[in-house]
Amino acid sequence: MSTAVDPNARIISPNGLPLAILVLSAVFLGLSLVTVALRTYTRLAKGIFGWDDGFIVIGTVVYTAATGLAIYAVLVGLGRLEIELNAWQWSEAMKYYIIWILTYVLALATVKSSVCITIMRIASTKMNLRITVYVLLAITWASFFITFVGTLLYCRPVETIWTPTLILSGKGTCAPVDTFVIIGHVATVSTIVTDMALVVVPAIILWNTQMKRQAKLQAFGLLSFASVASIITMIRIPYINRFKEGKNLQFWVAHIMLCSNIETGIGCIASSVPSLRHFFRRDNTESGSGGVTSKGARNFFTVGSEPRERKIRDSFRNPTDLGFSLSTVHHGRAEESWERLRDRDDDGSDAPMDPKGIHKERTYAVDIEMNDIEKNTR
Protein backbone atom coordinates (compact mmCIF):
# COMPACT_ATOMS: atom_id res chain seq x y z
CA MET A 1 0.00 0.00 0.00
CA SER A 2 1.22 3.50 -0.76
CA THR A 3 0.44 6.79 0.94
CA ALA A 4 0.88 8.52 -2.44
CA VAL A 5 -2.35 6.96 -3.72
CA ASP A 6 -5.59 8.85 -3.14
CA PRO A 7 -7.17 7.14 -0.08
CA ASN A 8 -10.65 7.82 -1.47
CA ALA A 9 -9.96 6.18 -4.85
CA ARG A 10 -12.07 3.15 -5.66
CA ILE A 11 -12.31 2.00 -9.30
CA ILE A 12 -9.10 1.82 -11.34
CA SER A 13 -9.12 1.93 -15.15
CA PRO A 14 -7.82 -1.46 -16.31
CA ASN A 15 -4.59 -1.73 -18.28
CA GLY A 16 -1.87 -4.32 -18.66
CA LEU A 17 -2.60 -7.52 -16.71
CA PRO A 18 -5.98 -6.33 -15.33
CA LEU A 19 -7.12 -5.49 -18.85
CA ALA A 20 -6.01 -8.91 -20.12
CA ILE A 21 -7.98 -10.62 -17.34
CA LEU A 22 -11.07 -8.56 -18.11
CA VAL A 23 -10.99 -9.13 -21.88
CA LEU A 24 -10.04 -12.83 -21.90
CA SER A 25 -12.48 -13.69 -19.12
CA ALA A 26 -15.30 -11.94 -20.98
CA VAL A 27 -14.41 -13.62 -24.30
CA PHE A 28 -14.31 -17.15 -22.89
CA LEU A 29 -17.49 -16.54 -20.92
CA GLY A 30 -19.26 -15.35 -24.07
CA LEU A 31 -18.16 -18.41 -26.04
CA SER A 32 -19.18 -20.66 -23.18
CA LEU A 33 -22.64 -19.13 -22.94
CA VAL A 34 -23.23 -19.53 -26.68
CA THR A 35 -22.06 -23.14 -26.91
CA VAL A 36 -23.84 -24.27 -23.74
CA ALA A 37 -27.05 -22.49 -24.79
CA LEU A 38 -27.02 -24.24 -28.19
CA ARG A 39 -26.25 -27.55 -26.51
CA THR A 40 -29.14 -27.12 -24.09
CA TYR A 41 -31.53 -26.14 -26.89
CA THR A 42 -30.52 -29.16 -28.98
CA ARG A 43 -30.90 -31.62 -26.11
CA LEU A 44 -34.27 -30.20 -25.07
CA ALA A 45 -35.53 -30.23 -28.66
CA LYS A 46 -34.55 -33.89 -29.03
CA GLY A 47 -35.96 -34.77 -25.59
CA ILE A 48 -32.64 -36.18 -24.36
CA PHE A 49 -31.68 -33.59 -21.75
CA GLY A 50 -29.77 -35.52 -19.09
CA TRP A 51 -27.75 -35.16 -15.92
CA ASP A 52 -24.62 -34.20 -17.82
CA ASP A 53 -26.51 -31.34 -19.47
CA GLY A 54 -27.87 -30.21 -16.11
CA PHE A 55 -24.38 -30.14 -14.59
CA ILE A 56 -22.94 -28.13 -17.49
CA VAL A 57 -25.76 -25.59 -17.18
CA ILE A 58 -25.14 -25.22 -13.44
CA GLY A 59 -21.40 -24.99 -14.04
CA THR A 60 -21.87 -22.27 -16.65
CA VAL A 61 -24.09 -20.24 -14.31
CA VAL A 62 -21.49 -20.48 -11.53
CA TYR A 63 -18.73 -19.71 -14.04
CA THR A 64 -20.64 -16.57 -15.03
CA ALA A 65 -20.67 -15.49 -11.38
CA ALA A 66 -16.94 -16.22 -11.07
CA THR A 67 -16.20 -14.14 -14.15
CA GLY A 68 -18.23 -11.26 -12.74
CA LEU A 69 -16.25 -11.44 -9.49
CA ALA A 70 -12.98 -11.49 -11.44
CA ILE A 71 -13.93 -8.41 -13.46
CA TYR A 72 -14.90 -6.48 -10.33
CA ALA A 73 -11.70 -7.59 -8.58
CA VAL A 74 -9.45 -6.21 -11.33
CA LEU A 75 -11.38 -2.94 -11.31
CA VAL A 76 -10.67 -2.42 -7.60
CA GLY A 77 -6.99 -3.34 -7.69
CA LEU A 78 -6.32 -7.01 -8.42
CA GLY A 79 -3.40 -7.44 -10.79
CA ARG A 80 -1.51 -4.39 -9.52
CA LEU A 81 1.49 -3.85 -7.25
CA GLU A 82 0.91 -2.72 -3.68
CA ILE A 83 2.41 0.74 -4.33
CA GLU A 84 -0.44 1.39 -6.76
CA LEU A 85 -3.18 0.69 -4.19
CA ASN A 86 -4.63 2.43 -1.17
CA ALA A 87 -5.76 0.54 1.94
CA TRP A 88 -9.34 0.05 0.73
CA GLN A 89 -8.27 -1.23 -2.69
CA TRP A 90 -5.72 -3.59 -1.15
CA SER A 91 -8.35 -5.14 1.12
CA GLU A 92 -11.17 -5.17 -1.47
CA ALA A 93 -9.02 -6.86 -4.11
CA MET A 94 -7.98 -9.67 -1.75
CA LYS A 95 -11.53 -10.12 -0.46
CA TYR A 96 -12.98 -10.64 -3.92
CA TYR A 97 -10.10 -12.90 -4.87
CA ILE A 98 -11.02 -15.22 -1.97
CA ILE A 99 -14.70 -15.13 -2.93
CA TRP A 100 -13.68 -15.85 -6.52
CA ILE A 101 -11.70 -18.95 -5.40
CA LEU A 102 -14.76 -20.40 -3.66
CA THR A 103 -16.90 -19.78 -6.74
CA TYR A 104 -14.32 -21.02 -9.24
CA VAL A 105 -13.77 -24.43 -7.59
CA LEU A 106 -17.54 -25.04 -7.60
CA ALA A 107 -17.80 -24.13 -11.29
CA LEU A 108 -14.87 -26.38 -12.18
CA ALA A 109 -16.26 -29.32 -10.21
CA THR A 110 -19.68 -29.14 -11.90
CA VAL A 111 -18.21 -28.77 -15.40
CA LYS A 112 -15.94 -31.77 -14.91
CA SER A 113 -18.82 -33.77 -13.45
CA SER A 114 -20.75 -33.12 -16.65
CA VAL A 115 -17.88 -34.48 -18.74
CA CYS A 116 -17.54 -37.53 -16.47
CA ILE A 117 -21.25 -38.36 -16.71
CA THR A 118 -21.13 -38.07 -20.50
CA ILE A 119 -18.16 -40.45 -20.70
CA MET A 120 -19.85 -42.85 -18.29
CA ARG A 121 -22.89 -43.03 -20.52
CA ILE A 122 -20.76 -43.74 -23.59
CA ALA A 123 -18.73 -46.39 -21.78
CA SER A 124 -21.75 -48.03 -20.17
CA THR A 125 -20.69 -51.52 -21.27
CA LYS A 126 -17.02 -51.20 -20.27
CA MET A 127 -16.74 -51.79 -16.53
CA ASN A 128 -13.07 -50.81 -16.25
CA LEU A 129 -13.71 -47.44 -17.90
CA ARG A 130 -16.76 -46.84 -15.71
CA ILE A 131 -14.65 -47.47 -12.60
CA THR A 132 -12.06 -45.01 -13.93
CA VAL A 133 -14.74 -42.35 -14.36
CA TYR A 134 -16.03 -42.94 -10.83
CA VAL A 135 -12.49 -42.43 -9.53
CA LEU A 136 -12.20 -39.17 -11.50
CA LEU A 137 -15.49 -37.98 -10.05
CA ALA A 138 -14.26 -38.77 -6.55
CA ILE A 139 -10.98 -36.91 -7.13
CA THR A 140 -12.84 -33.91 -8.58
CA TRP A 141 -15.18 -33.49 -5.62
CA ALA A 142 -12.50 -34.32 -3.02
CA SER A 143 -10.38 -31.53 -4.51
CA PHE A 144 -13.37 -29.21 -4.36
CA PHE A 145 -14.02 -29.86 -0.67
CA ILE A 146 -10.33 -29.57 0.26
CA THR A 147 -9.97 -26.22 -1.52
CA PHE A 148 -13.34 -24.83 -0.45
CA VAL A 149 -13.17 -25.82 3.21
CA GLY A 150 -9.43 -25.21 3.46
CA THR A 151 -9.80 -21.64 2.18
CA LEU A 152 -12.59 -20.89 4.64
CA LEU A 153 -10.64 -22.32 7.60
CA TYR A 154 -7.25 -20.86 6.71
CA CYS A 155 -7.93 -17.79 8.84
CA ARG A 156 -10.39 -17.31 11.69
CA PRO A 157 -12.44 -15.31 11.10
CA VAL A 158 -12.12 -15.66 7.32
CA GLU A 159 -11.97 -11.87 6.80
CA THR A 160 -8.57 -11.91 8.46
CA ILE A 161 -7.17 -12.95 5.06
CA TRP A 162 -7.89 -9.50 3.63
CA THR A 163 -7.76 -7.56 6.91
CA PRO A 164 -4.27 -7.96 8.42
CA THR A 165 -5.07 -5.49 11.19
CA LEU A 166 -7.16 -8.20 12.85
CA ILE A 167 -3.98 -10.21 13.42
CA LEU A 168 -2.16 -7.19 14.82
CA SER A 169 -5.03 -6.52 17.20
CA GLY A 170 -5.24 -10.17 18.27
CA LYS A 171 -8.78 -10.57 16.95
CA GLY A 172 -7.84 -12.99 14.20
CA THR A 173 -5.40 -15.82 13.52
CA CYS A 174 -4.18 -17.58 10.39
CA ALA A 175 -2.49 -20.91 9.76
CA PRO A 176 1.09 -20.94 8.43
CA VAL A 177 1.29 -19.66 4.86
CA ASP A 178 2.60 -23.08 3.74
CA THR A 179 -0.87 -24.45 4.48
CA PHE A 180 -2.45 -22.16 1.91
CA VAL A 181 0.27 -23.05 -0.62
CA ILE A 182 -0.39 -26.77 -0.09
CA ILE A 183 -4.11 -26.23 -0.64
CA GLY A 184 -3.33 -24.45 -3.89
CA HIS A 185 -1.05 -27.24 -5.09
CA VAL A 186 -3.57 -29.95 -4.20
CA ALA A 187 -6.20 -28.20 -6.30
CA THR A 188 -3.75 -27.71 -9.19
CA VAL A 189 -2.42 -31.27 -9.24
CA SER A 190 -5.90 -32.82 -9.05
CA THR A 191 -7.03 -30.53 -11.87
CA ILE A 192 -4.16 -31.57 -14.11
CA VAL A 193 -4.69 -35.28 -13.38
CA THR A 194 -8.42 -35.16 -14.08
CA ASP A 195 -7.97 -32.98 -17.18
CA MET A 196 -5.53 -35.44 -18.73
CA ALA A 197 -7.64 -38.44 -17.75
CA LEU A 198 -10.74 -36.90 -19.30
CA VAL A 199 -8.81 -36.69 -22.56
CA VAL A 200 -7.32 -40.20 -22.46
CA VAL A 201 -10.50 -42.10 -21.54
CA PRO A 202 -12.61 -40.79 -24.46
CA ALA A 203 -9.65 -41.44 -26.77
CA ILE A 204 -9.62 -45.09 -25.71
CA ILE A 205 -13.34 -45.36 -26.33
CA LEU A 206 -13.14 -43.73 -29.76
CA TRP A 207 -10.22 -45.90 -30.85
CA ASN A 208 -12.38 -49.03 -30.79
CA THR A 209 -15.45 -47.58 -32.48
CA GLN A 210 -16.54 -48.10 -36.09
CA MET A 211 -15.94 -44.55 -37.25
CA LYS A 212 -14.41 -43.19 -40.41
CA ARG A 213 -10.78 -42.25 -40.01
CA GLN A 214 -11.56 -38.59 -40.68
CA ALA A 215 -14.22 -38.57 -37.95
CA LYS A 216 -11.75 -40.09 -35.50
CA LEU A 217 -9.16 -37.44 -36.32
CA GLN A 218 -11.73 -34.71 -35.77
CA ALA A 219 -12.66 -36.20 -32.40
CA PHE A 220 -9.03 -36.44 -31.36
CA GLY A 221 -8.54 -32.83 -32.43
CA LEU A 222 -11.38 -31.80 -30.15
CA LEU A 223 -9.83 -33.77 -27.29
CA SER A 224 -6.50 -32.08 -27.94
CA PHE A 225 -8.25 -28.74 -27.64
CA ALA A 226 -9.61 -29.83 -24.27
CA SER A 227 -6.12 -30.85 -23.13
CA VAL A 228 -5.02 -27.23 -23.51
CA ALA A 229 -6.77 -26.64 -20.18
CA SER A 230 -4.18 -28.85 -18.51
CA ILE A 231 -1.33 -26.83 -19.98
CA ILE A 232 -2.88 -23.58 -18.78
CA THR A 233 -3.29 -25.09 -15.31
CA MET A 234 0.42 -25.95 -15.23
CA ILE A 235 1.31 -22.35 -16.01
CA ARG A 236 -0.22 -21.13 -12.76
CA ILE A 237 1.92 -23.40 -10.53
CA PRO A 238 4.82 -20.91 -10.03
CA TYR A 239 2.42 -18.17 -8.98
CA ILE A 240 1.00 -20.27 -6.15
CA ASN A 241 4.43 -20.29 -4.49
CA ARG A 242 4.37 -16.48 -4.42
CA PHE A 243 2.12 -16.68 -1.36
CA LYS A 244 5.22 -17.45 0.69
CA GLU A 245 6.68 -14.01 -0.08
CA GLY A 246 3.68 -12.15 1.28
CA LYS A 247 4.31 -9.14 -0.98
CA ASN A 248 2.38 -7.88 -3.97
CA LEU A 249 -0.11 -10.72 -3.60
CA GLN A 250 -2.71 -8.79 -5.59
CA PHE A 251 -0.38 -8.88 -8.58
CA TRP A 252 0.69 -12.52 -8.40
CA VAL A 253 -2.68 -14.10 -7.65
CA ALA A 254 -4.16 -12.30 -10.64
CA HIS A 255 -2.17 -14.68 -12.87
CA ILE A 256 -3.86 -17.63 -11.14
CA MET A 257 -7.24 -16.04 -11.78
CA LEU A 258 -6.49 -15.51 -15.46
CA CYS A 259 -5.37 -19.10 -16.05
CA SER A 260 -8.30 -20.53 -14.09
CA ASN A 261 -10.95 -18.53 -15.96
CA ILE A 262 -9.54 -19.66 -19.31
CA GLU A 263 -9.39 -23.26 -18.09
CA THR A 264 -13.05 -23.30 -17.03
CA GLY A 265 -14.13 -21.64 -20.27
CA ILE A 266 -12.33 -24.26 -22.34
CA GLY A 267 -14.06 -26.97 -20.31
CA CYS A 268 -17.51 -25.53 -21.05
CA ILE A 269 -16.77 -25.09 -24.75
CA ALA A 270 -15.05 -28.44 -25.35
CA SER A 271 -17.80 -30.40 -23.58
CA SER A 272 -20.55 -28.70 -25.61
CA VAL A 273 -19.04 -28.63 -29.12
CA PRO A 274 -19.95 -32.27 -29.95
CA SER A 275 -23.64 -31.46 -29.43
CA LEU A 276 -23.43 -28.58 -31.91
CA ARG A 277 -22.87 -31.07 -34.75
CA HIS A 278 -26.39 -32.36 -34.21
CA PHE A 279 -27.73 -28.79 -34.03
CA PHE A 280 -26.30 -27.75 -37.40
CA ARG A 281 -27.11 -31.12 -38.98
CA ARG A 282 -30.75 -30.71 -37.91
CA ASP A 283 -30.89 -27.21 -39.37
CA ASN A 284 -29.40 -28.40 -42.66
CA THR A 285 -31.92 -31.23 -42.82
CA GLU A 286 -34.85 -28.91 -42.22
CA SER A 287 -33.66 -26.35 -44.76
CA GLY A 288 -33.25 -29.03 -47.42
CA SER A 289 -36.42 -30.97 -46.66
CA GLY A 290 -38.60 -28.59 -48.66
CA GLY A 291 -37.00 -29.72 -51.88
CA VAL A 292 -37.56 -33.42 -51.37
CA THR A 293 -41.02 -33.45 -52.87
CA SER A 294 -40.19 -31.34 -55.88
CA LYS A 295 -37.03 -33.31 -56.60
CA GLY A 296 -38.46 -36.67 -55.70
CA ALA A 297 -39.15 -37.68 -59.29
CA ARG A 298 -35.50 -37.50 -60.30
CA ASN A 299 -34.23 -39.20 -57.17
CA PHE A 300 -35.52 -42.66 -58.20
CA PHE A 301 -33.28 -44.72 -60.46
CA THR A 302 -33.86 -48.11 -62.04
CA VAL A 303 -31.01 -50.57 -61.78
CA GLY A 304 -28.32 -49.64 -64.29
CA SER A 305 -30.46 -46.93 -65.87
CA GLU A 306 -30.70 -43.16 -66.01
CA PRO A 307 -33.01 -40.91 -63.96
CA ARG A 308 -36.73 -41.45 -64.23
CA GLU A 309 -37.36 -38.07 -65.91
CA ARG A 310 -35.46 -39.19 -68.94
CA LYS A 311 -37.14 -42.61 -68.91
CA ILE A 312 -40.60 -41.06 -68.93
CA ARG A 313 -39.65 -38.79 -71.77
CA ASP A 314 -38.21 -41.55 -73.93
CA SER A 315 -40.30 -44.60 -73.00
CA PHE A 316 -43.37 -44.01 -75.26
CA ARG A 317 -41.69 -43.49 -78.60
CA ASN A 318 -42.99 -46.90 -79.74
CA PRO A 319 -46.79 -47.34 -79.72
CA THR A 320 -46.38 -50.91 -78.54
CA ASP A 321 -44.72 -49.82 -75.30
CA LEU A 322 -46.72 -50.62 -72.20
CA GLY A 323 -47.38 -48.14 -69.41
CA PHE A 324 -46.63 -50.52 -66.52
CA SER A 325 -43.29 -51.91 -65.40
CA LEU A 326 -42.10 -53.79 -62.33
CA SER A 327 -38.45 -53.34 -61.45
CA THR A 328 -36.05 -53.16 -58.55
CA VAL A 329 -34.88 -49.65 -57.90
CA HIS A 330 -32.34 -47.95 -55.63
CA HIS A 331 -33.80 -45.42 -53.23
CA GLY A 332 -31.48 -42.60 -52.26
CA ARG A 333 -30.85 -38.90 -52.37
CA ALA A 334 -28.56 -37.47 -55.01
CA GLU A 335 -27.26 -34.78 -52.69
CA GLU A 336 -25.93 -37.25 -50.10
CA SER A 337 -22.89 -39.46 -50.25
CA TRP A 338 -23.64 -43.01 -49.23
CA GLU A 339 -20.99 -45.55 -48.28
CA ARG A 340 -21.09 -49.25 -47.58
CA LEU A 341 -20.92 -50.44 -43.97
CA ARG A 342 -17.69 -52.29 -43.40
CA ASP A 343 -16.01 -54.31 -40.74
CA ARG A 344 -14.03 -52.57 -38.00
CA ASP A 345 -10.65 -51.19 -39.14
CA ASP A 346 -11.51 -51.82 -42.79
CA ASP A 347 -9.80 -49.33 -45.07
CA GLY A 348 -11.63 -50.02 -48.31
CA SER A 349 -11.42 -53.73 -48.99
CA ASP A 350 -14.32 -55.81 -50.26
CA ALA A 351 -14.63 -57.77 -47.03
CA PRO A 352 -18.13 -58.96 -46.08
CA MET A 353 -20.34 -56.47 -44.36
CA ASP A 354 -20.58 -56.50 -40.58
CA PRO A 355 -23.51 -58.82 -39.73
CA LYS A 356 -24.49 -56.36 -37.01
CA GLY A 357 -24.58 -53.50 -39.47
CA ILE A 358 -27.87 -52.10 -40.73
CA HIS A 359 -28.68 -52.62 -44.40
CA LYS A 360 -31.94 -52.75 -46.28
CA GLU A 361 -33.13 -53.67 -49.75
CA ARG A 362 -36.36 -52.38 -51.27
CA THR A 363 -38.43 -53.40 -54.28
CA TYR A 364 -40.77 -50.85 -55.83
CA ALA A 365 -43.62 -51.29 -58.26
CA VAL A 366 -43.48 -48.24 -60.50
CA ASP A 367 -46.84 -47.57 -62.16
CA ILE A 368 -46.44 -45.13 -65.06
CA GLU A 369 -49.64 -44.03 -66.74
CA MET A 370 -49.68 -43.29 -70.47
CA ASN A 371 -49.49 -39.59 -71.10
CA ASP A 372 -50.90 -37.50 -73.92
CA ILE A 373 -47.93 -38.33 -76.12
CA GLU A 374 -48.90 -42.01 -76.24
CA LYS A 375 -52.56 -41.21 -76.82
CA ASN A 376 -51.70 -39.10 -79.85
CA THR A 377 -49.64 -41.92 -81.39
CA ARG A 378 -52.58 -44.34 -81.41
Q: Which residues pair with 329 in a beta bridge?
A: 302
- Taking the C-alpha atoms of residue 284 and residue 280, their distance in angstroms, rounded to an integer, is 6
Confidence at residue 328, expressed as pLDDT on a 0 to 100 scale: 43
Q: How confident is the model at residue 226 (pLDDT cuts 50, 70, 90)?
A: low
Other Cβ atoms within 10 Å of 117 Cβ, number: 19
Confidence at residue 371, expressed as pLDDT on a 0 to 100 scale: 43
Q: What is the pLDDT of residues 75-121, one digit of tens each?
A: 999 999 999 999 999 999 999 999 999 999 999 999 999 988 888 87
| pLDDT score of 242 more than 60 | yes
119 or 207: which carries more pLDDT confidence? 119
Q: Do you know the residue count of the chain?
A: 378
- Burial of residue 190 (number of CB atoms within 10 Å: 0-12, 13-18, 19+): buried
- Taking the C-alpha atoms of residue 336 and residue 323, their distance in angstroms, rounded to an integer, is 31
| pLDDT score of 214 more than 90 | no
Q: What is the mean pLDDT of residues 259-287?
A: 76
Q: How confident is the model at residue 132 (pLDDT cuts 50, 70, 90)?
A: confident
Confidence at residue 292, expressed as pLDDT on a 0 to 100 scale: 41
| 221 Cβ neighbours under 8 A, 6+ residues apart | none
pTM exceeds 0.85, yes or no: no
How many Å is the maximal CA-CA distance in the chain? 116
Q: What are the φ/ψ torsions at residue 331 (nearest 5 degrees)? A: -110, 120
Long-range contacts of 11-14 (CB under 8 A, 24+ apart): 11/75, 11/76, 12/75, 12/76, 12/77, 12/80, 12/84, 12/89, 14/74, 14/75, 14/79
| 292 Cβ neighbours under 8 A, 6+ residues apart | 299, 333
